[in-house]
Amino acid sequence: MQNSSHLWPAACLLSGRPNVGALMSLCEENHGRLLRLAPRLRDATGRLTSRRSGGVDLLLEVEEQAPYTTQLRLTHVFHLPGSTDPRPDPNARLRVYHDARQVEILDLRQSVLPLRGGYQHPALADKWQANLFLAKWLTFCLRQGHCFQHGGVAVPPLGFVESTPFCT
């Protein structure tokens, strides 16, 4: 697991031209953030909702559990005045590789940043931008106090670092 004081290589962020190693590090960091948000993800099933007073609901829906992977949808659910349909934004479909400690973005729909869909050429730059967005969004969710409880007890994930907050 990456040292939390060394997030992404500054040269990659400043140049806008990430490399594969930096992308893999970012995917690993996103895995850690996601596990702080959902410590029992490997055992989770169905839909889980995190509600914060005065905030927007965060929904995690497990689509598929396999021995080494979890496929899920993570979204904020906005209930707009005058509308009966909730609006998901951002709306991410993710595959979590538990053994490799990586998160892969399968689909990301959001209205905040202009991202290209489908990871067209150059794919590395598109994946970097999408994963950077995911990192910032997961950090935002954690700072808002969101947490998906499973079984009523929050247990720190493997690789937990004392100074890193996790849900309680």
CA distances for 163 relative to 78, 98, 130, 133, angstroms: 32, 22, 27, 23
Per-residue model confidence as pLDDT tens for the chain (168 residues):
444 444 555 455 555 667 888 889 999 999 999 999 999 999 998 989 888 887 778 889 999 999 999 999 999 876 666 767 766 668 889 999 999 999 998 988 776 665 555 555 458 888 888 888 899 999 999 998 999 875 433 333 334 333 334 454
The DSSP symbol for 156 reads: P
* Nearest CA-CA partner of 33 in 65, 76, 70, 1: 1
Whole-model pTM: value is 0.73
Cβ-contact 126, 106 below 8 angstroms: no
Summarize pLDDT for 93-130 with one digit per residue, the tens.
999 999 999 999 898 877 666 555 555 545 888 888 88
Strand ranges for the chain from DSSP E: 47-50, 57-65, 69-78, 87-97, 102-109
Strand partners, 77: 57, 88
For residue 120, the model assigns a pLDDT of 52
- pLDDT attached to residue 72: 95
Instruction: Find the farthest-apart pair of alpha carbons in the chain and give their distance in angstroms, rounded.
Output: 47
Cα 107 from Cα 71, distance rounded (Å): 11
CB 19 within 8 A of CB 35: no
Dist. CA 64–CA 147, nearest whole Å: 20
